[in-house]
Every structure is written in structure tokens, then in C-alpha cells.
Structure 1
Amino acid sequence: MYYILLPFIYLLSWIPFPLFYGVSDLMFVMIYYVFGYRKKVVGQNLRNAFPERSEKEIRAIMRRFYRSFCDVLLETFKTLTISERSAIKRCKLTPEALLLFNRYADENKSIIIVMGHFGNWEWAGNTFSLQCRHHLYVVYHPLSNKHFNGLIYRMRTRFGTGLIAMKDTFREMVQHKAELDATAFIADQTPAPDSAFWLTFLNQDTPVFQGTEKIARKMNYPVVYARVERVKRGYYEISAETLFDEPGRTTDGEITAAHTRALEKDIQRQPESWLWSHRRWKHKRPEITK
């Protein structure tokens, strides 16, 4: 299957952008109207997150989400062949974000970047590696299929980004301690309920990985929240803000709550840009933690 799909993936990555988004439009029709891919999950997630919204508003957000989802999915394949110039043009760092990252580089401080599945997180890694002085490492879950995992690895590392398997995160960060690096965590995935930090997120009891916080406090690296906002179709803007300069001085749960609240605000402002198709709320809060 991998070798059958690979030529089509590369062909798709070479298509000029105007035609490329025509393919995405066709994909939207098939996924949304024909196959109804995870529409029940997406609809229920949206209704629970925005109980004040009418059914008409929920449906409108759903359609915008599926259009965005198709774009981002196909845009990921573009990283196989996109030029450096086009990568930077289509996913820009704001001047303020670039100043923030340069300040930490001037101070020779490694940092932790925390973000969510919002906007185009794949393109953001390319832009950071091309424009910032920190060596970027992204924490990820390797795919079980070694062929597709290799493809994802090539796409994500093409412009110098390094990848760290989640289970090896702390060990590898210690090994890289002499480097000027930035380690990026996608922190809105679903952990096991018993080991998670629980809080209210989008009007629902939500388990959150606390690994980002634990590592930040151990390494005492500044924690920077990054958002990748869709400006218009095919164009994104990366902004950033420091949440904590000295994580070692924070209390338990403080960092986790802060980056989760920051993501919540972004989702409320531009809901179609978040990844609603996952069963983010499949677990119930254990009684003992209430």
C-alpha cells in the first residue's frame, strides 16, 4: 500500500497551489458529504464545547472545520517538495515572535515550546527551523508502520528539525543540554485518565498530559506558548508568548493549566482551526480526583 500511494503523494506535493486547493475542495465534498468521516464525533465535540451555540452555528463551524482539515492534511504532503522561500511566505513568524525567540538565543537559553493541534502545526516546524537560531526538536508518536513513519520523518526533518519519540523525551533533552535548542510539545492529546492532570477545558472535564510541565520544571527552561493562526487559505501566522521564564518556581499544575487556557482562548476565537475529529473526551474523570 505504501509503495502504491507514494507516487501519488509526491505528485500531489508538486501540484501548483491553485490546483492543489481544488483537490482539497473535492476531498472536502467526499469526506463531508459522501463518507461523513467522523461527523458524529465532530458534531458531539462541538455541541459539548459550545452549548450556547445554535445548531445552525454548530453546522457552520463543522463545515469550516472539514474544509480546514482537508487543507491541512494535504498541506502536510507539500512539505516533501515545498521551497524554503514558499515555506516561510506561507507560514510566517510575527515580528514579535521572532524577537522573542532571538532574545532567548542571545541569552543562550534553550526553551520549551508548547502548542496544540491548531492551524497548521506541521508547517510551523519548518518555518521555525528556517528562521530561528535554536535547533528545533519536536516530540512525536512514531507510527507503527515503519514505511509511513519514515515518510513522516522525512517531511518533518527536511529543513533541519529533529524528532524525539515521546518515550525518550527527557533522556534526549538531557543529552542535548549543551545545545541551544527548542523542544516542541503538542500538548492537547489524550492521556490515560489515572495519570492525567484534570481540569475543565471547553466546558468539559478533560485529562491533560503533565509531562510537558514535569520536564519544564526539571530542566527549568522557559515555557513559550505558540499559536499557528490561519490568516487566509494557505497562509498562517505564528505568534508566541512566554508563559513562565522560571518553571522551577511554579506550583504543581500551574504550567499545565496555563498552556491549556491559552489554547482554549485560541479555539474559542477560531474554532474551525482545531482538530475536532479526535475523541478528546472519551475518558471520565476518576472520582478520587474530583
Structure 2
Amino acid sequence: MPNSLPKPYPWYYRPLNWLLRGLAHLPLPVLYVLADGIYLLLAYVVRYRQQVVLVNLRNSFHDKSEAEIQRITKGFYRHFAEVMVETLKLAVMPAAELKKRVWFSNPEVMERHFAQGRTVLGLSSHSSNWEWVLTSGAVWLSAHADGVYKPLSNPFFESFMHQLRTRTGAGLIPMRDTLRDMLQRRGETRVVSLLSDQAAGPEDRPYWTEFMHQDSGFYTSADRLADRFHCPVVYVSIRRLRRGYYQIILTELYDGDAPLPANEFPITEAFVRQLEQDIHAFPTDYLWTHRRWKHKREAR
């Protein structure tokens, strides 16, 4: 198992831990009342990263009026607040309840590869409730589920989020250890989940393509790992049905067998196009506070 216990956090975080766990025991309908207050605070008082959100939306949706942009902005903040309390609820939510709230519509897309004893790469994004993807996969799928993640710098929140993400049986792999983990566990039957929409910097040798009408650099881990370890790759789309209920739809991007062209990144390109479709269908559900376009392509 890849789970290494996070470092202990200072004692003065204990009251915050007790507070968060106490809130997590509240029923979801009560937590959604709290989410309504968080929404008002973020959207109208703090205006959390509002300029980032507005710039991202205006650059991504050239065809929408300013009134539509403002409507999406408000819808995003409301959804973001709900994701915050739903993520907190993971601290106490039974696996059986999570399985009822997140429905895998076609798990056979991955299960047929698990039946062959293969490792599958699952590509997802910061859309809908991304924190419920890995945790629900651990209870829905027959194989073990691991998630690649970037550890948080704050020791308390790193410990708290680690516990939330692993309590249904999922494992976590620090991003810097991904290749080593794949080498050590080569051929293991499992799914390795990658949130593949982070902003890759110049040092990451990104793949550049147009995404939401903007020049965007993407990590190429999916292509490189799939090619080296012959892993099938599946796009994981999570769609909000209503408050607290989601549908996951799996789309195979690569079967793990066909040769991949050298110095090209067809899997990443296919992921980008799938993600664009989801964002256009559900524009309020993407993480618009994320500075996705902070890096620029280096001039040659």
C-alpha cells in the first residue's frame, strides 16, 4: 500500500480538528444550510479570487454575455461551497452511503481490464465533486484505487485531508513518487487516479494545446506512464445530478496495447477534448478559482 502516515501536526490544531469533525457529524441537509452561508461569504463578502474567476470565465466563453458570465460566477460559488461541506462529510460518511450518492454508470469499462490483471490510469479533473471520485471508486470498483496527489504544506490540513481521502480504503501516492510507485508495483491490478488539469510549468515540459480558447500546458504523465507500463487509460467524468448525488461516466481513451507515437501526446489531447465537453455542459461545476492559465508557452 502506498499510504505513508503524514507527519504529526502541532497540538494547537486539535481544537480545529474537533470542530471540523463535530461539523462533519451534522446531517447533510444541515451542512447545506452552512454551505449557503459560505456561498454568501465567498461571493459577496470575501469575494474569494473573484477576479481570477471572472478572467477565466471571460477568456473561456467568448460567446457569452457579461450577464451570463455573472450568472455562471454565482453558480460556481454556490457549487464550490457545497463541495466544501460534502468533502468535510467524508470524515464520517459510511462507505455504503457514499456508494448510494455516487453512481458509476459503466464500471465495466475498467472492470474488463481488472479481469486481465492490469493497472488502469484514470484521468479526472477539478470538476463537480472531485474529492468524491477516488473515495467512491474505492467502494465501487473490484480493484484497489490509488490517487496521485500533491501533499499540502500545512501539517494539520495534510493529515486531515489524508484521512478523508483514505478512509474508504483508497491509497495516496505523492506526485513526486509516482514513477517509483509504478515501478515497484508494476503489473498490480488497480486504478491509479490522476487529476490531470493542473497547470504544468515550463520545468514540467508540458504538452501545449488550445483549451477553452486559451493556449494551455498540460502534464504528459498519462502518455508517458501508459506507454512505459502498457496501462489502459480511462477518462473519468463526474456529473452532479442534484445536491449530494453524482454520476460517474467512464470513457476509454487508450486500450494499453496499441503503439503510441513518439513525442506526441494523443492521450492528453483526448483528455483535454473530453474535459472541454464537460465544462461546456456544466460550466458552474469547474474549479474556476484555479489559476489554470498562469504559465505561458516559452518562445522558441
Same-fold call, TM cutoff 0.5: yes
Matched, 1:122 2:131: yes
Higher helix share: 1
Aligned residue in 1 for 2:290: 278
Matched, 1:135 2:136: no
Which of the residues 259, 270, 275 maps onto 1:258? 270
Aligned residue in 2 for 1:174: 183
Q: How does 1:4-15 map to 2 (within 5 A)?
A: 4-15=15-26
Matched, 1:152 2:142: no
Question: How far has the Cα of 1:101 moved from its partner?
Answer: 2.2
The answer to whether the 8 Å contact 1:191/1:207 transfers is yes
Aligned residue in 2 for 1:88: 99
The answer to whether the 8 Å contact 1:223/1:247 transfers is no
Question: How far has the Cα of 1:72 moved from its partner?
Answer: 0.7
Question: What 5-or-longer segments of structure 1 have no aligned partner?
Answer: none
Aligned residue in 1 for 2:5: none
Matched, 1:62 2:73: yes
Aligned residue in 2 for 1:199: 209
**Within 2, Cα distance between the matches of 1:70 and 1:231?**
16
Question: How far has the Cα of 1:248 moved from its partner?
Answer: 5.8
Aligned residue in 1 for 2:112: 103
Question: How far has the Cα of 1:161 moved from its partner?
Answer: 0.5
CA deviation vs aligned residue, 1:89-130 (integer Å, no higher than 9, x gap): 111111xx2222221222222211011111111112121111
Aligned residue in 1 for 2:54: 43
Question: How far has the Cα of 1:183 moved from its partner?
Answer: 0.5
Aligned residue type for 1:213: D
**Within 2, Cα distance between the matches of 1:27 and 1:137?**
31
CA deviation vs aligned residue, 1:147-179 (integer Å, no higher than 9, x gap): 221111111111110100111101101212242
Question: What 5-or-longer segments of structure 2 have no aligned partner?
Answer: 1-11
Moved more, 201-210 or 146-155: 146-155
Matched, 1:78 2:89: yes
Which of the residues 185, 188, 208 maps onto 2:194? 185
**Within 2, Cα distance between the matches of 1:110 and 1:235?**
28
**Within 2, Cα distance between the matches of 1:184 and 1:140?**
9
Aligned residue type for 2:17: L
The answer to whether the 8 Å contact 1:110/1:134 transfers is no
TM-score, normalised to structure 1, is 0.95
Matched, 1:21 2:32: yes
Aligned residue type for 2:249: S
Matched, 1:230 2:240: yes
Q: Percent identity?
A: 35
Moved more, 45-54 or 4-13: 4-13
Flag as ranges the 4+ runs of structure 1 deviating above 6 A.
none
**Within 2, Cα distance between the matches of 1:191 and 1:148?**
24
Question: How far has the Cα of 1:2 moved from its partner?
Answer: 2.6
**Within 2, Cα distance between the matches of 1:126 and 1:59?**
32
The answer to whether the 8 Å contact 1:139/1:186 transfers is yes
How many residue pairs match? The answer is 286
**Within 1, Cα distance between the matches of 2:68 and 2:83?**
22
The answer to whether the 8 Å contact 2:28/2:89 transfers is no
Q: Say which SS state the counterpart of residue 249 (structure 1) adopts.
A: coil
TM-score, normalised to structure 2, is 0.92
